[in-house]
Structure 1
Amino acid sequence: METNMRNYHIVIGSKRYFDEYLPDFKKEDSVYDFSDSIKLSDAFRESGKINDHFASILIVRNNNYNGIVEAAHDRLGPLIEELTTSSAEIYIHNPPRILMKYLEEQNDRLSIKLSISREKYEINRDPSIFINNIKEISSHILGQQTALTEISKSLWYLTTVKREKPYVIMLYGDSGLGKTELVREIAKKFFDGKFLEKHLSMFKNDNYTNYFFGDKPNRRSIGFDLLERESNLIFFDELDKCPEYFFSTFYTLFDNVQFKDSTYDVNVSETVIILTSNYNSKEEMQKKLGLPIFYRIDKFIHFNEFNCDTIYRIVQNEILERKVEYNDKISPDAIYAAVSPLVSTSGENARTIKYKVQQVIEDLLFEEIHEKF
């Protein structure tokens, strides 16, 4: 067996995790970035010279794959060998499937050394602070006590058991009722404030096929983003705005501990996937989403319209939270007196209330200068 072998360190996880994994290199170390090495090699070839600059330490970041032509992905393994010494230390972040397979085959032949480090994701399982966490979440989400009770049941289940398969929650109801705010609060209290967030209303046509299915290995895909996530909380906002031809991606993601697109393999075990939509009933969801997705969702939590008391509390909160803007120029009471006739006792949401408070603050501030016109 060869004594001089390349030593590959595969690091699966977020950018932060990869950067923390890298050792403190010495000044005399020949450390090269993969992209820089490619450029240097190309420059030698174009000038007709032989490349004699080989990296003894090569760092291959996950976004480096996006910077090379598609054809080069078929020979990523040999390409790395061409850029490094025979005993190089090579650090690779989230390799695509084709590179991972090549390295595993080389390792099976005892041609290289190979180690794999995977980022560990965990929900906050401390039962002693669970109730306090739920109380703090409830203080930020007004008028949705039933929804908060249901999400508390799910969170207690998830912090108590070890579940491999992804747990999928659908928050549904009209916009502006606190669905997205609830996801952010869950992230703060149970996932160290970290989550992967995708707004599905942005993916409106087949131009995004590459993202959902990973057709092009040198382009960003959902598999790429899932590998790079910093926690096991995944948030897909406005599923009702996503075209149906992307739904097969969600079938695979919701149903398996291993997600695959055409480029990447991703371990998604123990993930918590929260969806939002503006549907108003389960029956509407069944009809619009279809049964294959509907039956892959573990929990449905409805958000009710705000009642009069909740609307009043949200108006008061919005006025007080913005006090730093108007400070001593206007009193909160003056703002409330001006905005209350504009706010209905029903049918309001956080966005409509925010808009009306904004307009009133602008009007009251403008009165002072308007008198001088």
Structure 2
Amino acid sequence: MTDTSDQPGTDLIKIVYFDEQSASDYLDISAGGKEVTSAEHIRNRTNETHAKVDAAVSAKFSWLPFIGASASAGAGAEASREAQSILSKTLSNTILTDYLEQVDQDPRIERLRDLSVSAASDTMAFVKMYTPYMIAAKDDDPTVELARLDEALTNAKGYYELIAQHPGEERKSVLRFNLRAFRNNYGLTDLIRMRLTYHGIFVGQTLESSLTLSSELSAALPQASLSAVDLVDGVTSATGVLLDVYDVVLAGSNMAADIEITLYFGPVKWFHQKTAHLTTESLLDIVMARDDSTRVLTVVQGDQSQSAPGTAPDRPENVVAESSDYASLNEHVISNFAGLVRPIQPKHLHLHNPPAQIQAQLSRIFPVLTERYVYPTVTASTLASISKDFAERLVGQAHVRAELLAALYPLTAKERSTPIVLMLYGPSGVGKTETAHFVNGLLGGELMRKQFSMFHSEKFASYVFGGAHTEASFAHDLLDRESGVILIDEFDKANPAFHNAFYQLFDGGVFEDKNYKVEVGPAVIICTSNYDSEAAINTALGEALASRFDAMIRFEHLSGEHLRIILERLVASHFATLTDDEQRQIDLNEVSQYLEPVTRATGNIRRLGKTVEQVFSILLVRKLLMDVLDSESGHENAPDLAAVSDKPANDKSREQREESE
């Protein structure tokens, strides 16, 4: 985004109020002693403006000759009105441009920022906020025409005063506004709800009490009441606290300069760490609270005190939104996210993994900082750990270690910015997924794992290509991931219609859908399939996609000896998870005897692991029920061991129970 910090006046991105007459007078006064130069400047600008107006009008009515001379002749008045309109607007913009250039370094024009403005009750400004609605009121009093009350107030008073509270201070000021200087249909009421920068000229001081209706109709300046201390001390008069009065020349939104926005791209845990030292408010909470406040109806009865219609809430310091928060916003809010932020006007806005539409929109309007999580990458040390520990972690796939090391070696280059893409193929349950866990364990972070075999519905299209921002997507999951390893299990099970979505990811490490654009950098992308040859993979995926894999590594069937080694490790690993009491009830030799036949029946490690868990559970639950049986001997509802056994209950035990009953 272009840096506009040194350009005059560019901190304002929307003009709400501009008193052209005051600005014109200011420009004339500023040119004092340079009348000739000023006059020549005005003459040149006027000639230039007229030339632009003539060109604009000519362009607008250039089509008239094609529809006949009569129409052309009748268009003169319209063209004249159009020219006058364009001329007025152009000259107005010229004054604004000249004013912004002149005022940029002028200390006589005070910039008043972060003020909370309001209309004090029982003041002309307070009444003026309501009179525009009087035209719709029923007029029962023949002596007062309510419909013309607004017109009367507009003509009776040139400037209207609002009270301005300075941020973090008890100090107040009075801001005076010319009703005819508001732009774009804004008015006094709108100022109360907005956070603006005001250009003000100091014109004097007054008491806040002098703004009341009764004081307006009195020529004398009201005197503040005397306190008891004043009377004892002999004070005979008091004036109270005088407030500085400013005539406002310009008021506008300087959101771009006033709000600091930081975009964070990475896992949510990292985002929490980056903002942990801040006292933050949730963007969603603020939006919901403000939405609720607009639904509140306040009824004022009798002589109860009234307040101006709406007051601006305190400006929040740090507002945050996590990647999951955007799903709670409607599509039209996403497309106008800046409009959501403007009324809140936080000093600092921290957004985690925002959709591309929000990112692009904010970057056009605000100065935006970006922070990106640095994902763990493969180094020479990582390769050394793989070489050392692979055989201990994976049994029966010795040849895989060498191929894996060779495939990952290019990632050790410092200038590497694209991923390595691997296809691990072979029988189910022989270590392909475990290999991904092993490599990721060396890098750190929770492994990102997606199983494409689970996506067979029409929702897979929106998951891959992006649908509504409220829906899950692969790109969003890539942004939220913690790991430098991306595992796509059973990649071959995805519909071939979606293969082209991965071309750019595999080639350059970029994945883009409707809502997000992700650069994965030098990551490790591991895809798995159960095909038994590269030829079968090429046929299933097609040459265009298959050729984008940096390596295809085959995993072999496990032999009986390998399965016995794995079984021993599984038994030892599961035994270590038991409590001390549970371990005392388990005979490991007995467990091994039960499991020995399994090594001849299956070559699937995953299935073998589940069988180990089941054997341990059966042995422990039988021990548990036997203990319950012994402790509750003599009760009718003693547990029946046959329910967890493949043998009939022991006859002797049944006789003993009958005798005890």
Which TM class, normalised by the smaller chain length? 0.7 to 0.9
Alpha-carbon distance, 1:51 to partner: 6.7
| Partner deviation per Cα, 1:5-53 (whole Å, 9 max, x = no partner) | 2111111111122222226235xxxx43111121122112333674732
1:140 matches 2:393: yes
Give the greater-gyration-radius structure (CA).
2
Distance of 1:25 and 1:308 partners within structure 2: 58
Question: Which residue of 1 is the match for residue 72 of structure 2?
Answer: none
* Alignment counterpart, residue 69 of structure 1, candidates 317, 323, 330: 330
* Alignment counterpart, residue 95 of structure 1, candidates 342, 347, 354: 354
* Equivalence map 1:209-358=2 (5 Å): 209-324=461-576, 325=578, 327-344=583-600, 348-358=603-613
The alpha-carbon distance between structure 1 residues 154 and 97, as it changes in their structure 2 partners (threshold 3 A), is same
**SS in structure 1 at match of 2:294:** helix
1:116 matches 2:370: yes
Alpha-carbon distance, 1:342 to partner: 4.1
The alpha-carbon distance between structure 1 residues 257 and 330, as it changes in their structure 2 partners (threshold 3 A), is closer
Decide which moves more: 12-21 or 317-326.
317-326
The alpha-carbon distance between structure 1 residues 295 and 333, as it changes in their structure 2 partners (threshold 3 A), is same
Alpha-carbon distance, 1:124 to partner: 4.3
The alpha-carbon distance between structure 1 residues 279 and 46, as it changes in their structure 2 partners (threshold 3 A), is same
**SS in structure 2 at match of 1:46:** coil
Q: Which amino acid counterpart does residue 95 of structure 1 have in structure 2?
A: P
* Alignment counterpart, residue 433 of structure 2, candidates 160, 164, 180: 180
**SS in structure 2 at match of 1:25:** coil
Distance of 1:63 and 1:342 partners within structure 2: 45
**SS in structure 1 at match of 2:428:** coil
Decide which moves more: 360-369 or 118-127.
360-369
Q: Which amino acid counterpart does residue 139 of structure 1 have in structure 2?
A: E
* Alignment counterpart, residue 208 of structure 1, candidates 460, 466, 474: 460
**SS in structure 2 at match of 1:327:** helix
**SS in structure 2 at match of 1:154:** helix
Distance of 2:311 and 2:462 partners within structure 1: 35
| Partner deviation per Cα, 1:95-119 (whole Å, 9 max, x = no partner) | 211111112222xxxxx33211111
Aligned residues: 359
Alpha-carbon distance, 1:273 to partner: 0.4
The alpha-carbon distance between structure 1 residues 23 and 113, as it changes in their structure 2 partners (threshold 3 A), is farther
Structure 1 residue ranges without an equivalent (≥5): 107-111
Greater RCO, CA 8 A, separation 6+:
1
| Partner deviation per Cα, 1:280-321 (whole Å, 9 max, x = no partner) | 111111111222221111110110001122022112222222
1:32 matches 2:281: yes
Tell me if structure 2 keeps the 8 A contact 1:227–1:266. Answer: yes
Tell me if structure 1 keeps the 8 A contact 2:271–2:352. Answer: yes
Question: Which residue of 1 is the match for residue 408 of structure 2?
Answer: 155
Question: Which residue of 1 is the match for residue 635 of structure 2?
Answer: none
Question: Which residue of 1 is the match for residue 244 of structure 2?
Answer: none
The alpha-carbon distance between structure 1 residues 268 and 25, as it changes in their structure 2 partners (threshold 3 A), is closer
Alpha-carbon distance, 1:131 to partner: 2.5
Distance of 1:261 and 1:57 partners within structure 2: 30
Distance of 1:104 and 1:359 partners within structure 2: 57
Distance of 1:57 and 1:320 partners within structure 2: 51
Distance of 1:349 and 1:254 partners within structure 2: 30
Distance of 2:619 and 2:351 partners within structure 1: 58
Q: Which amino acid counterpart does residue 351 of structure 1 have in structure 2?
A: R
Distance of 1:194 and 1:204 partners within structure 2: 26
Distance of 1:35 and 1:340 partners within structure 2: 58
| Partner deviation per Cα, 1:209-258 (whole Å, 9 max, x = no partner) | 22211121233311111111223211111112222233232223212333
**SS in structure 2 at match of 1:174:** coil
Distance of 2:356 and 2:598 partners within structure 1: 57
The alpha-carbon distance between structure 1 residues 338 and 33, as it changes in their structure 2 partners (threshold 3 A), is closer
Q: Which amino acid counterpart does residue 563 of structure 2 have in structure 1?
A: I
TM-score (norm 2): 0.51
Distance of 2:488 and 2:595 partners within structure 1: 34
Alpha-carbon distance, 1:208 to partner: 2.7
Q: Which amino acid counterpart does residue 376 of structure 2 have in structure 1?
A: E
Q: Which amino acid counterpart does residue 100 of structure 1 have in structure 2?
A: Q
Distance of 2:539 and 2:460 partners within structure 1: 24
The alpha-carbon distance between structure 1 residues 289 and 51, as it changes in their structure 2 partners (threshold 3 A), is farther
Tell me if structure 2 keeps the 8 A contact 1:343–1:356. Answer: no
| Partner deviation per Cα, 1:69-94 (whole Å, 9 max, x = no partner) | 12221101221112225xx2111111
The alpha-carbon distance between structure 1 residues 264 and 175, as it changes in their structure 2 partners (threshold 3 A), is same
Distance of 1:138 and 1:269 partners within structure 2: 29
Question: Which residue of 1 is the match for residue 136 of structure 2?
Answer: none
Question: Which residue of 1 is the match for residue 271 of structure 2?
Answer: 18
1:47 matches 2:301: no
Tell me if structure 1 keeps the 8 A contact 2:595–2:612. Answer: yes
Tell me if structure 2 keeps the 8 A contact 1:66–1:220. Answer: no
Decide which moves more: 332-341 or 48-57.
48-57
TM-score (norm 1): 0.87
Alpha-carbon distance, 1:68 to partner: 0.8
The alpha-carbon distance between structure 1 residues 83 and 304, as it changes in their structure 2 partners (threshold 3 A), is same
Structure 2 residue ranges without an equivalent (≥5): 1-9, 12-253, 298-308, 627-640, 642-648, 655-661
**SS in structure 2 at match of 1:52:** coil
The alpha-carbon distance between structure 1 residues 36 and 277, as it changes in their structure 2 partners (threshold 3 A), is same
* Alignment counterpart, residue 83 of structure 1, candidates 344, 353, 367: 344
